[in-house]
Amino acid sequence: RNYEIVRNQVELGEIIGEGQFGNVHKGSYKARDGQIMAVAVKTCKVDADLATAEKFLEEAYIMQQFEHPYIIRLIGVCSEAPIWLVMELARLGEMRAYLQSNKHRLDLAALLLYAFQLSTALSYLESKKFVHRDIAARNVLVSSHSCVKLADFGLSRWVEDQSYYVASKCKLPIKWMAPESINFRRFTTSSDVWMF
């Protein structure tokens, strides 16, 4: 499938998230068949260096390999500068804020459902030989009151032959990392489970 999108098919709306390398906007996408859908658009900063632009395209390449009900779906990419990643929109936002604002209405059954959904997403990533490396509530998006999805594959890496990935000196989320990841910068599907 060709993931390249013409920029005039996408309309940017309000900013719904801010990051080190760009922002995430709510937007709309007009598909080739004329259908208009609400989307999330991750925009790379206009003045981004080549390494940052490559990271955005690498994230898109990783995301296009996944098709799972509990992983945010890549719709397409505007690969000319500034780079835009167009993804499905999770209407209720990130899980961390959702849990805080809905703590009185969430029961054990809902929390177990979310845990099940995310564990199936992690199992799927393992079957594809990927480690996410940044499992945290800020990287889980809430599509509906009964559906959460794993997102933000900027730190994800392919792992050969069920072994492990050794990270370079990039910034990593130490607060949630497994001991072997902190001490040896070693990441496996098991370290993803630790973060979960």
Helix (H), strand (E) at residue 55: helix 50-63
Give the span between the Cα atoms of 3 and 110, in whole angstroms.
34
Token reading at 139: 């990287």
Token reading at 4: 């390249």
Give the span between the Cα atoms of 99 and 46, in whole angstroms.
33
- Positions at the binding site for ATP: 42
- CA nearest to 145, candidates 192, 117, 110: 110
Give the span between the Cα atoms of 35 and 151, in whole angstroms.
24
Catalytic machinery residues: 134
**Contact, 196 vs 119, CB < 8 A?**
yes
- CA nearest to 73, candidates 86, 84, 55, 58: 86
Residues 6 or more apart from 79 whose CB is under 8 A from it? 4, 57, 60
